[in-house]
Structure 1
Amino acid sequence: MLDREEFVEQAYFFGVLYERLGQDNTLQELLEQGRFEVLATTKLPMAIEFLSNELKHSGTIAPAMKKISHYFTPFQRYIVEQSETDRGRLDFKTALLILKHEAEYRSRSDNRQGFFLYQFETLCRNRLNYDLGLKAMSEDPLYSPEWKEWILIVRKQLGFVDIADLIYGRSQEFVKYRKRHLGDDAEADYPILFGEREGKIAFANRRKDPLFLFAAMQRHLAYPPVPKREVREDALEMVPQMHRRIERLEQRIKLMEEEQRHGIDITKFYASHRPAPLDEIE
């Protein structure tokens, strides 16, 4: 695990990228600026320089984050990787905000229950791949071996078993239920990862939309709210774009109709741009 000051500087760095990206600054320029703004006594400036070099060569930074996995966690790398894919559902600015909130949370808490719920809710709200996302979560150094084993179990059972049931089954509240019905000797045969509070919340949200579970957990565990992509009304921008596309479609339809009737007269496309005679150039 990194020192607290590393996560404090990471949160600042991701926040700076989020705020300044799109303000006539390229990501390459922002990385160069951020390298000099963050605390020089941390390892982050060297990590940023490595990201900058990778961006120059490949146009992405996720491969560099994977190469320095001792500094950036697999989950951080996965979030950036999903934002850099051509067909990804996660945009880069939302990914930066996710990483900013997570780094802030790491700098002030090591609550594994809160981290699991924040990361899992991130996958859910942003419609990311659960299989790859949970695999990345299981490799996070924050989690103990018992947690990593359970996360991989969730990875296998998700879709067949409700997430609220999976949490409730590993809670102290479930142990109390067993003791009430089976006697005081009825202990769980597996590690208990959640307390009574989390178990009660999970039980109350069984067979419900998982978003209700996440909202209740976030209120009681006080982990950061999960960012999600904001849907903006771009009607004013879309109208001229649609107008240009319709014009291009109309032109293509006219060409197809002419070709079917008597062929296309291509001379009209370059008549107005016909080059000057050689004698005039001389």
Structure 2
Amino acid sequence: MLCLRIGQGQSTQEILEVLDQEILSTTKLPFAIGFLRAELKHTGQLSRGFERLGHYFTPFQTLLVKSAENEKMKFSVESSLGCLENEAIYRSKQPTQAGLFIYQFEVLARNHLGYDEGLIAMSRDPFYPPAWQSFIADARHQLGVVDFADLIYLRSIWYILDQRRNNPGYEAPIAPLFGEKEGKIAGANRNRDPLYLFAALQRQLGYPALPKKSEKETEQAILIVLQSKIRDLEGRIRLMEQEIKGQVDLEHFAKPEMFQGDFKDD
């Protein structure tokens, strides 16, 4: 509801002013909405209210709102609320730790929110038992060294079955966290962009998907790509002009230290 109304041009504060009156008074949610409205009015930040309502919102949910309020990050309020809405819908059904982990990780990956802070927030979600919290903490240190698909594959039942084909007595040193199907899909997507893995899990196992970007956000993304391409073309044109004039400056294409010191012939 909040996401939809923001998309229609209403401000967050205006929406919260009337939202608590539209929610069933038999729940405590109107009090939470009133608190968020007060925090937004006094601090100008919705994330401050999320932080103080830790029994309502998880650290990861707070991180999404905080990221949307950060002007340096290209993560809109609409995208933030859309991700929160889809997560809430998934949690209201029959969520699994594997499904929530993949969803939250995709939110970080697609929106460039940063894995370090994001995985810390994920590990503090009470929905994850200790074994999962430990896995998420380890993943934070292994990303960039170990392929994401390998992280899934190596902690799956499918990996154990793979090992037992050559070694029937194989026993995993730690309990698997992902099922046979998840491991098989992850194994098939090793050394590929994680986006392929996300799509395969959603298509084949019904894992939760991120909200589709609005037309406005899609246009902004296209504009950013076009601006980048234009800058690249401008740089190439300048290089061609300098080459024609015999004025190519190699310092633009090498580290400064390469031009320091004396050069000696061997």
TM bin (shorter chain): 0.7 to 0.9
Q: 1:4-23 maps to which residues of 2 (within 5 A)? A: 16-23=1-8
d(CA) in 1 for partners of 2:209, 2:36: 27
1:232 aligns to 2:216 (yes or no)? no
- The aligned residue for residue 156 of structure 1 is 141
d(CA) in 2 for partners of 1:47, 1:223: 30
1:118 aligns to 2:96 (yes or no)? no
1:136 aligns to 2:129 (yes or no)? no
Which of 97, 104, 108 does residue 93 from structure 2 map onto?
108
Of 219-228 and 190-199, deviating more is 219-228
Following TM superposition, the consecutive aligned residue runs of length 4 or more in structure 1 with deviations greater than 6 angstroms are none
1:191: how far off? 2.0
Structure 2 unpaired stretches of 5+: 224-266
Of 222-231 and 203-212, deviating more is 222-231
Structure with greater Cα Rg? 1
- The aligned residue for residue 199 of structure 2 is 215
Which of 179, 198, 221 does residue 182 from structure 2 map onto?
198
- The aligned residue for residue 255 of structure 1 is none
Cα 1:33–1:221 change in 2 (3 A) is: farther
d(CA) in 2 for partners of 1:97, 1:22: 11
1:87 aligns to 2:72 (yes or no)? yes
1:24: how far off? 4.9
Of 222-231 and 160-169, deviating more is 222-231
- The aligned residue for residue 48 of structure 2 is 63
d(CA) in 1 for partners of 2:184, 2:8: 46
1:21: how far off? 1.3
d(CA) in 2 for partners of 1:171, 1:43: 40
TM-score by length of 2: 0.78
Cα 1:174–1:132 change in 2 (3 A) is: same
Cα 1:22–1:231 change in 2 (3 A) is: closer
Which protein has greater RCO, CA pairs closer than 8 Å, 6+ apart? 1
Number of aligned positions between the proteins: 219
Identity of aligned residues (%): 48
Q: 1:236-275 maps to which residues of 2 (within 5 A)? A: none
CA RMSD of aligned residues (A): 1.6
1:20: how far off? 1.1
Contact 2:7-2:78 within 8 A present in 1 as well = no
Amino acid at match of 2:183: G
Secondary structure of the 1:232 match is helix
d(CA) in 2 for partners of 1:22, 1:145: 39
Contact 2:122-2:136 within 8 A present in 1 as well = yes
Amino acid at match of 2:194: P
Cα 1:160–1:92 change in 2 (3 A) is: same
- The aligned residue for residue 3 of structure 1 is none
Structure 1 unpaired stretches of 5+: 1-15, 236-282
TM-score by length of 1: 0.74
Secondary structure of the 1:21 match is helix
d(CA) in 1 for partners of 2:32, 2:181: 39
